[in-house]
Amino acid sequence: MNATRTGVADALGIVADENVELIQRLRALGDAPMDGLASRMESARRVFVHGAGRSGLALRMVAMRLMHLGLKVHVVGEVTAPAIGRGDLLLVASGSGRTPGVVRAAETATDVGAQVAALTTAADSPLARLSSVVVLPAAHKTDRTATASVQYAGSLFEQGVLLVGDALFHLLWQRGGQTADGLWHRHANLE
């Protein structure tokens, strides 16, 4: 990976190259981690998503796609989000696995009997200990070594959250056998 490229086309190349490498690493893990997470989403009474900053924004996009599938999805912190409980799944993202609000939400979910699944870079973090984990081999926001990524402040992790979310959506869509037209009636019409 050449981090000294210049120009927008070169910057796009860096982003693309790092995402291709991330995807290859995730594919090398096999289907089990993602299939397990997809199965938990399918069987959950409701799916809640939570993350801070850009990780949270990426999860909001995932929530929208899950809603298109017909899943009952809530974004933690929104005024219409109900209390989480037994039978629910909390999907969280935190590169470091130490984001205080995300860890507290995982603790609460665990306390009430909900399942927790985490996307993180840190398999040994407090968040990982509370959840089923999918580890994204990317830098978190405080890693400025340029070892895992030359992009700034966890950008590759956040991009990975969205890519994993879209892959999970696609897998669930294919498993469910719905057509694109069948999903379309759930697409927002108040835009």
Asked if 114 and 86 count as a contact pair (C-beta separation under 8 A), the reply is yes
- Comparing CA positions, the residue from 74, 80, 78, 118 lying closest to residue 99 is 118
| Candidates 42, 78, 158, 191; catalytic one | 158
- Based on the residue annotation, tell me whether 158 is a catalytic residue of this protein: yes
One DSSP character per residue, the chain reads: --TT--SHHHHHHHHHHHHHHHHHHHHHT-SHHHHHHHHHHHH-S-EEEEESHHHHHHHHHHHHHHHHTT--EEETTSTT-----TT-EEEEE-SSS--HHHHHHHHHHHHTT-EEEEEES-TTSHHHHTSEEEE--S--TT--SSSS-SSSTTHHHHHHHHHHHHHHHHHHHHHHT--HHHHHTTS-S--
What's the rounded Cα separation, in Å, for the pair 105 and 121?
18
Structure tokens at 55: 């990780």
Q: What residues are labeled active site?
A: 158
